[in-house]
Amino acid sequence: MVDRILRQSLLTKITALLFSFLCLVAVSKGYAQTYSREIKTIKKRKVFYRQNSFYTIDFENVAYFQNSPRPYYFEHIPLGRNYAPNSTIELVNPQFIACAPEDLRGVKGLEELADDITLETSLTSARKDNFLQVKIFPFRKRNGMCERLQSFQLKITPKKQFRLKRKKDSKPHSVLRSGNWVKIKIKKSGVYKITFAELKSMGISNPSSVRVFGNDVGQLPMIAGEERPDDLRENKILIADEAIYFYAKAADTKKFVPDQNKFIRHKQFYASHAFYFLTSDLNTGFDNIIEEYAPGGIADKTIEEYLAFQIYEKDLLNIGHTGRRYYGESFDIQNSRLFSFDFPDLKPNADAFVELRAAGSSADARLQILAEGQSETLTFRNPSGSGAATSKVLNFSFQTNNKVEINLNLQRSSPATQAWLDYIAVNAVCQLNYRDRFLEFNNVGQIDSGSVGKFQLQNANENILLWDISDPVLPRQILADYSSNILSFNASCDTLKEFIAFEKTQCLSVDVQDAISVSNQDLHNTSGETDMIIVTYPEFWEQARAIKELHESMDEMNVQLVTAEQIFNEFSCGMPDFSAIRDYAKMVYERGTPTRSLRYLLLFGDGTYDNRAPAGSNGNYMISYQPANSEDIERSLFSDDFFGLLDDGEGDNSLSINGLMDIGVGRIPVSSREQARMMVEKIKNYVSPKTYGPWRNNLCFIADDEDGLVHMKDADSLTKIVEQKNPSFNIEKIYADAYPQHTDAGGATYPDVNAAINNRVQQGALLINYTGHGGKKGFAHERILTINQIENWKNFEKLPLFVTATCEFTVFDNYNYHSAGERVLLNPVGGAIAMFTTARIAYIVSNYKLAKAFYQTAFEKDNEGKPLRLGDIARITKNKVTDDNKRIFFLLGDPALRIGYSYGNQVFTEKINGKNIAQTDTLKALSQASFSGEIQDKAGNLLSDFNGNLYVSVFDKYKNAATQNNDGEGIFRYSVRDNLIYKGKASVKNGKFDFSFVVPKDIALNIDSGKVSYYAENGTINAQGYSEKFLVGDLADNFEPDDQGPEISLYMDSENFASGGITSPNPKILALLYDKHGINTATGGIGHDITATIDGDKKNIIVLNNDYQSDKDTYQSGRVEHFLFNIPEGNHSLKLKAWDTYNNSSEKSIDFQVADSKDFSVKHLLNFPNPFTTHTDFYFDHNRPGSDLQMLIQIFTISGKLVKTIAETVNTAANRAGPFPWDGKDDFGNSIGRGIYIYRLKLKSGNGEVVCKQEKLLILK
């Protein structure tokens, strides 16, 4: 990205880019374009933060940065691909308006106003299209009054001549594509020696032909497009004495800052070792032998000193459990520590630079720095997280000959205050004396254009070799003069020069046992027409390959499957580095064509803040981008977005992540092979036609009750976006304050909300959205969603996409805790198919803007007219939003998976009550309604070969609803369409369908528009549709009398259940209902719902209207299926009451026993009929539903003789097992005599548990 920061007064001509809040108007004047802007709808918005509230300014394109309430206007102007990057940009005709005092009262973010507005502009891009990015603070102070920018024009004039920077082509192949390779670990920088014998032990077949490859950059640049090695670089080496010698750089390196004339630390945050690669099977044609040279030139100065650099740093603790930075010593009980640095031949009285970085737990912390009798103090801003970090550079003059001592002392007024040391870096001038082993030195302080220096190394000997390591990969051996223990040579001082003096006998060595064999690979040969890259942990390779094969077969995608280690080998010289994955994706992306290029990146493995942990431990299965801020989790922008910012100039700029997403990035955070297998099964099941059903028409919006109704208001605004653009969906609103609030020992609760959420998950929804407070343990302070609930969900056939605009719900990078969001995604028998969710603290205003952009995008179609894939939804959504808050939202799931609603085909209503749909008819209470129609393709043509099922939901009119003001924060009024008139299933034959039902007496009698919602499937394809072209209301003039209630058959879990049987703590209510005129599901009448009560508890009545569905092709019979959760162990009773459409009721009761699932048990062993003559069936209840059980039934005579054995493997969804038939014959097929027999059941579970039970039976013949 080409950055241009312009900060000028509006009193002068402003050459800057500004962007507006409304429509873009472009007027061409020659080559110039003028864009007019008007800022409208400025309003105050109440914000709740840390139990405090304040107001901020809100408008259409408002953005907040680094969690500050200061409101900026921010926008991206699309410029296409041919924009001239050196265009002149002018702001003209700015118009201001005075701000009314009442509009500013209580507003934060406007405390400090300048005399003029400030603009920041830059050129950015997304998927190779250019955008001008504008950031403006549109308020100023004039004559003591606040003014805001109201309108302006922007003029962009391209210059006629400009030269676009040509992108550097990446190498077509990696050197690792052939030959035998090993990689070795490097701990320290220096000259290494490896003998031929050691090389052979590593697997190098021809040591005399060995070649060494490695890079010297340490941590890769975090900004895309900055210079970095492309593949492994071949190093020059010295071969002598049956050994090789080469210079190697450690993982942690240093960088020279010319304008400060010093070195700074360059940390490799994720690796403690560097790697170098060796082979003897490759002839690159490169002369890899270090050359000798005699530096020339006439010296104009003598150099007898150099700038030494040392750093003290220990990586012991990540204080905030976030970010890439680890800290060392803690200042707590021990509040004073001494740190010593040995600098042989330290030059007395020379300036030394000490850079120290530390963090404090509070503003009370003050770290006193004492050195050479001088004192400085490090203070910390007021932290909002675990701590706040500060760095300081000190200039000391040291008197000692060889030691620098720095004493740190924590000063505090509270014993709870702590501080932590990050690092101490020291630049000190030393005299150029050779001591032992090796000496690295340089010409810092002597750099001057055209200058030549004569270096004189004292205390030398004839065995010393001098290498110029200014380019560490390509060292050169200096032919120096030796005389009187002095080695001298001349060298240019135009630029930084670095050297090393060493003796062959004193070289560093490698641990041969750590040598790692490297398989051949060639990621550099990846095609630019790759659609998707999957990066996996090796243990999950087979499961990742299953996802690859799924998209290749289903979507005709070109998918590249690689491991993270393979990427590190080619792009970061073997060291773990998040930029390496980004760089690989960037290479593939830039090779793409205008019609096909990289679109998706899937990270297949759990991530952790502890990326320094060995792979596969502490959650480190797939590298994560972690920001520099490790102290304050609220400001630590942990994000997977980094991997999708592929255009030049995008990435981590040390303060935040900048740029627009170029590809969709998703992560599946699995940490075991079983979790990986389970997630693959969920994906396969989601796209399978066997899971097609009307649940894919349902959307659910859940809202918290706090913060002045803001969460419910925001959620309701989102539902309106969906309803306006996608009215075919059916929306359920679960607003917490609309339900009764209870109080228990843990505080306020909403048990009916818990139940409603559970029920919606079990019934199925395409998408479930939550707006409100949350955390790692669930939703809301009232615990409306808990981990216990999540772990009991069993909705494998109906997996929703979860969208959670709340705080930290899915913190997956803290291996010490398994968050609620992770449990939702990784639930092996239910939960979610994917999540758009947060892993850090999120903010209400920003959350709403992101959610709004999401719902403006989620149900759009791609160029093929198909639903967008999840990665595209996330990418487009984030690119529409401007502030930093978007970064902490993750797509957890497969980014190439399409959101699973029906598209293309449609269900069309032709007639209602025999009348053409164009003739609006009215459905009247107690009348029989009939609908007919057909399944059509997207062009409106009948699909005459469609034979399958149609699922129908007919709704009453919208009605007004209001919350209950449980917390005294006010009443929120909203509308719902939740009165279900009819829910059924009809046959589709040759594309045609019809169905009928009796309209319940309990509809609202006022007349207004109803809605019918359709979902059709035939086992291969599906269709969706709706109609609102009919009315509902009034009472039929004539109707058949009826005073009989419905017939009810009641069970638990399955129709095999017998009253008194056992269930799990999470059983399913199953009721079969019949009535001549159908079952009432409308909620217009008080007390006429389908209800259930447990143990006679009338305070907690369960309403089952939405759980009822009529049987296929009839409205007279149907079934209720409703899941219960966390029923206590012991005996219970269940009563179900149902009403027919005429408001006649019936009741049925049943008993059940909740068994403790910890101990394997069997109850209610029976056979029926008993007595019998020629046939009976065996049944039993057990507490291991869903598990494979080895069953053995043996039948004995009274005397103990075995006559019959029945053995098989049993796996039941419910607790009741059976029937297991027996014809009364023995194992030889002979009928046995009449009389009493003993039968014994033996069950064995998969983990070896065994349980037995026996009963008697009687044969009559």
Tell me the pLDDT tens digit for each residue of 81-104.
766 667 777 778 888 888 888 777
pTM for this prediction: 0.89
Number of Cβ within a 10 Å radius of residue 1098: 8
Residue 208 confidence (pLDDT) above 90: yes
Examine the domain organization and report whether 22 and 149 are in the same domain: yes
Residue 841 is predicted with a pLDDT of 80
- Residue at a domain's end among 498, 516, 534: 516
Same domain, 927 and 963: yes
Q: What is the pLDDT of residue 8?
A: 31
pLDDT tens sequence across 842-854: 776 788 889 999 9
Residue 399 domain-assigned (yes or no): yes
Domain count, the chain: 6
Q: 1085 pLDDT exceeds 90?
A: no
Tokens coding 1073: 């209902």
Residue 655 lies in a domain: no
| Within a domain: 457 | yes
Domain contains 612 = no
Using DSSP bridges, classify how beta strands 600-604 and 664-668 pair: parallel, antiparallel or unpaired.
parallel
CATH number at residue 1174: 2.60.40.3880
Same domain, 7 and 129: yes
Q: What is the mean pLDDT of residues 359-387?
A: 80
The pLDDT of 1044-1058, averaged and rounded, is 93
Domain end among 974, 1000, 1035: 1035
pLDDT at 631: 84
Query: Do the domain assignments include residue 578?
Result: no
Report whether the peptide linkage leading into residue 1219 is cis, meaning its omega lies within 30 degrees of zero.
yes
Regarding whether 1198 and 1113 lie in a shared domain, the answer is no
Q: Are 278 and 204 part of one and the same domain? A: yes
Answer whether residue 1177 is part of any domain.
yes
Q: What pLDDT sits at residue 5?
A: 29
Give the residue from 1013, 1035, 1057 where a domain finishes. Answer: 1035
One domain for residues 294 and 440: yes
Instruction: Tell how far CA 837 is from the center of its chain.
Output: 6
Q: Which whole number is the average pLDDT over 615-621?
A: 93
In a domain, 1185, yes or no: yes
Which element (helix H / strand E) includes 985? Answer: strand 980-989
Domain span at residue 936 reads: 906-1035
Stretch 396-416: mean pLDDT: 84
- Cα-flanking dihedrals φ and ψ of residue 401, to 5°? -85, -30
Beta bridge partners of 992: 934, 989
- Would you say residue 105 has pLDDT above 70? yes
Give the contacts of 258 (CB within 8 A, at least 6 positions apart).
447, 496
141 shares a domain with 26 = yes
Q: pLDDT tens, 876-901?
A: 999 998 888 899 999 999 999 999 99
Lowest mean pLDDT among 131-140, 161-170, 563-572: 161-170
pLDDT band (50, 70, 90) for residue 958: very high
In angstroms, the CA 36 to CA 28 distance is 12
Q: What is the CATH number of the domain that holds 1015?
A: 2.60.40.1930
CA 803 to chain centre: 11
Residues 288 and 318 both lie in one domain: no
- Looking at residue 392, its pLDDT comes to 76
Structure tokens at 38: 């008007």
DSSP secondary structure letter of residue 414: S
pLDDT of residue 85: 67
**Same structural domain, 18 and 150:** yes
Any long-range contacts for 967-975 (C-beta under 8 Å, 24+ apart)?
Answer: 967/705, 967/706, 967/737, 967/741, 967/748, 969/705, 969/706, 969/707, 969/708, 969/709, 969/737, 970/708, 970/709, 972/709, 972/712, 972/713, 972/716, 972/735, 972/737, 974/712, 974/716, 974/733, 974/735
Distance (Å, rounded) from C-alpha 1071 to C-alpha 1090?
Answer: 11
* CATH assignment at residue 126: 2.60.40
| CATH (domain of 1061) | 2.60.40.650
Q: Indicate if 1205 and 1254 belong to the same structural domain.
A: yes
Residues above pLDDT 90, as percent of the chain: 70
Residues 18 and 148 in one domain: yes
- Statement: residue 164 has pLDDT above 60: no
Asked, for residue 418, whether it belongs to a domain, the answer is: yes
> What span, in angstroms and rounded, lies between the C-alpha atoms of 682 and 684?
6
Least confident of 35-49, 113-127, 141-155: 35-49
Same domain, 1022 and 1073: no
Instruction: Indicate whether 682 pLDDT > 70.
Output: yes
pLDDT digits (tens, 9 = 90+) for 1122-1173: 999 889 989 999 999 999 999 999 999 999 999 876 788 888 899 999 999 9
